[in-house]
Amino acid sequence: MPRLRLYELALLAVILALSAAQFYYWDARFTDNELAVGGKGYVSDEVWYVASARNIMLKVFHLSPREVGGYGYTIIYNGTLDRARVESLAKEYGVTLRLDYSKLNGFYAHSTNLTALSEFLDAVKRVVGVGDVIPGWMMPDASGINTYLNLEHPPLGKYVIGLTMVLVGDYPLYWRLGNMVAGVLLIFLTFLATRRLLQGNTVAGLAAAALLSVDPLVRSLSSIALLDVYVSLFTALSFYLALGKRYGLALLAAVIGALFKFNALFALIPLSLLYARERVKKRFNLLDFTATLLGFYIVSGLAFLAAQILASLPLISYSGFTNWFKQSITGAIAWHTQVKCSGNGCPVSSAPWDWFAGVNPFTLYYFPGGAAVVAVGFWPVWSFALVSTLVLLPGYLKGKTAFAKSSCWLLGLLAGYALLWAVGGRTQYSFYAVQFAPVVYTSAIVIVATFNSSNVLQVLRSWRDFLAEAERAVGRLLLLQ
């Protein structure tokens, strides 16, 4: 593969730098809004991951968050609260209160003076039955949030957020630093994968990276503390490694991605097909192909379980293996394969195929005045990639073309979500679709770059013959009635 020229490196650096600046800009906008509404403006699933990350650092690792711009305690109490007495104490010690919690029996106290805040807490404990104290940014208003560890999802994403809180600061702008880094790396890997797939075509790689960098779904998921951009990152890494026939490392990348969310394992579907095809490439045999697939999934399952246990050892030590296994493995699988929420008050869910048409997007964030940030990609490109893949697939199945490999990954990931939908996991949300993003833009560029009129004509003739045969079959069935 040819080396990158200096101007190509410069263009790539510009794309990555602009991407980082864009992610930071949106992160700062979200943070400014949270400050404007007193710290409780965030509404997406970020609240669960941030709160559980703080709890894990405090209760499991015994690490306190690094506070920014003052000091705060979310104080959880038992019984009833004597508001007048607490407000009087707050005035006495110069502490600011937030008492508008409705679901959590708690309130938030903040001060720029740590000694005054500590003395206020001691005074409160003499008049209120304090059950728990969570230092740092205020906890969201949800019952039991002070003990919530988000065990239905693997721990690595919370470790990243939590370590950022401890090392950098427990502040909205900093919660998302890991996401911003993951977003930039995702764009870089998409460049590498597209370039490798098209045998060193740097222009195609830059085009895929540039398009991905301005996709609104990628921008949003790289600017807010959700887990899915990490899933997308390790899916892209697995894709890139598989293109280089480094199947063991590609498997490892997918397993690491599953330490953020289980849906990273959907990358194993296309990966297993490419691996099995490579193993039986000299002489295809269905039995050998099936046996290879079975062996691949056994190894993958063992690697997945081992990785989950290893990453969760601190949580296992804290809650016990049986409790952890029930919540994080069997319970999590049951939770993901059923309807999680139905009726009024539930967020908008969507089917996997909706994501390619921009239908039923999930609202990630609300700004004052009703403006919303929704999780939707640039759907015309997404639709083009999927529809073109389905239409052109018959003409490209033979041989090891770039299109065959990219389409294998696109359709393989889609098959995973469709299977989840079929077994009962109907509560899926459009932000999950970011896992597809690197493959969507790689596929779109590959389709354009490898366009061949003779192949297209062959595909059209194949579809014409298929439809004609189907029409004749229906006619014969009607005559038999």
For 85-103, what is each residue's pLDDT tens digit? 999 999 999 999 999 999 9
Per the model's pLDDT, the better-predicted residue between 74 and 471 turns out to be 74
pLDDT, greater one: 466 or 361: 361
Query: According to the model, what pLDDT value does residue 278 have?
Result: 87
Closest CA to 207 of 444, 451, 450, 452: 444
Residue 403: pLDDT band (50, 70, 90) is confident
- pLDDT value of position 41: 57
Average pLDDT over residues 202-209: 96
Average pLDDT score over residue span 68-80: 94
pLDDT above 70: percentage of residues in the chain: 97
Q: What is the pLDDT of residue 344?
A: 79
What is residue 395's predicted lDDT score, i.e. its pLDDT?
59
4 — pLDDT class (breaks 50, 70, 90)? confident
Integer Cα distance of 229 and 175 in angstroms = 14
Identify the pLDDT of residue 15. Answer: 98
Q: Which of 192-201, 334-343, 471-480 has the lowest mean pLDDT?
A: 471-480
* Average pLDDT of the chain, as a whole number: 92
Mean pLDDT over 110-128 rounds to: 95
Q: Mean of the pLDDT values across residues 166-195?
A: 97
Q: Exposure string (b/e) for 27-37, b if CB count within 10 Å is 16 or more?
A: beebbebbeee
Residue pair 170/67 in contact (Cβ under 8 Å)? The answer is yes
Q: Which residue has the higher pLDDT, 468 or 415?
A: 415
Q: Are 413 and 359 in contact (CB under 8 A)?
A: no
Rounded mean pLDDT of 73-92?
Answer: 94
Interacting residues of 347 by C-beta distance below 8 A, sequence separation 6+: 341, 362, 363, 429
The stretch 375-389 carries a mean pLDDT of: 95
